[in-house]
Amino acid sequence: MRASAPRRKQRTTASMRTGVVLLTTAAVMSSAGCFGSSEDPSRSGPSRGGKHAEGPAWNTRPSSIASLGDSITRGFDACSVLSDCPRVSWSTGSDVDSLAQRLRSGARSWNYAKTGAVMADLPGQMEAAATRKPQLVTVMIGSNDACRDSVADMTPTDEFRSVFTSALTRLRREVPKTQVYVASVPDLKRLWSQGRKNVLGRQIWKLGICPSMLKDSDAMDAASTERRQRVDDQVDDYNKVLKDVCGKDPLCRYDDAVHKYRFTERELSKWDWFHPSKAGQQRLAAMAYRRITSP
């Protein structure tokens, strides 16, 4: 049954009044911040106050790379016994499918890593890298801070944190827009477990490679087991520092894949069964490439 004209008019007027009340209420609540922002949080852009809601966007295709770190980044024992081979470095090598090759930035890449380097050497490497103004800096360091003559000589965690923070701050001051990729410290205990199966590798270890973990590699007494566990725990602490400090910088990406990865026999040096072989270097490059190029 149709409503009469007067009744329809009354309903229309009531609806209009209700709509005005709702709109007014919504406006008041919105201005008071009762509703969440309708802006897409994944999109960067200035806020009403003129400040950017997020930091600078990550560039997944940097065109220049400076690599920092220790013997792993120098390709130690990958080409010949007890010698560097930077041309097969996972970061900037030219004779392997390195990160630089994958990103097609090999023409503009520099390797400032040094065999035997510890965290205390990183600020100097950072300073040298900053002069090149690279778009990306790769860092893989910390193994030698744990690989000392004894567990008592390992770099204290607080010192490790202080120096790493200082190095990253120095880089950011010199080149504010440079991105940083920080690889986790490899699992030294797992490398010991893998390499101790090889007779030649155990002999090379006696020359002084990571003695805190690798000396008396066949010993399974309580003291040796405890020693290796202390080194393993220290590596875990280092990785927590790297993750935490890097996480506070919007242009730094930490990668725990290196520590988690189980290197195969083929991916370890045939001379020391501890450092990555050419195949191992390429595996490191693949991990870094995946992390750097992810959205």
* CATH number of domain containing 200: 3.40.50.1110
Distant-in-sequence, close-in-space partners of 165: CB < 8 Å, separation ≥ 6: 245
Please give the distance of CA 29 from its chain centroid, rounded to a whole number.
Answer: 43
Q: Does some domain include residue 8?
A: no
pTM for this model (two decimals): 0.81
pLDDT of residue 46: 38
pLDDT tens-digit map of 11-31:
444 444 444 333 333 333 333
Q: Does some domain include residue 172?
A: yes
Q: At what angle do helices 122-130 and 157-174 cross, to 10 degrees?
A: 10
Q: Does some domain include residue 18?
A: no
Q: Does some domain include residue 216?
A: yes
Q: Does some domain include residue 52?
A: no
In what order do the strands lie in the sheet containing 65-69?
109-111, 65-69, 136-140, 179-183, 252-255
Q: What is the mean pLDDT of residues 160-180?
A: 97
Alpha-carbon dihedral 178, 159, 262, 211, rounded to 10 degrees: 130
82 phi/psi in degrees, rounded to 5:
50, 45
User: What is the DSSP annotation of 24-72?
Assistant: HHHHHHHHTT-SPP-S-TTS--B-TTS-BSS-PPP-SS-S-EEEEESTT
Q: What is the mean pLDDT of residues 197-217?
A: 90
Residue labelled with tokens 């690889």: 183
pLDDT of residue 203: 87
pLDDT of residue 88: 98
Please give the distance of CA 103 from its chain centroid, rounded to a whole number.
Answer: 17
**Residue type present at position 57:** A
Domain count, the chain: 1
pLDDT of residue 240: 98
Please give the distance of CA 252 from its chain centroid, rounded to a whole number.
Answer: 7
Q: What is the mean pLDDT of residues 2-12?
A: 43
pLDDT of residue 54: 63
Of 10-19, 61-70, 80-89, 286-295, minimum mean pLDDT range: 10-19
Q: Does some domain include residue 121?
A: yes
Q: Report whether 280 contacts 288 (CB < 8 A).
A: no
Q: Does some domain include residue 246?
A: yes
Domain hosting residue 228, numbered range: 65-293
**CA torsion sign, 188 to 191 to 197 to 203?**
negative
Element (H, E) at 149: none
pLDDT tens-digit map of 222-270:
999 999 999 999 999 999 999 999 999 999 999 999 999 999 999 999 9
Residue labelled with tokens 């200035």: 46
Q: Does some domain include residue 152?
A: yes
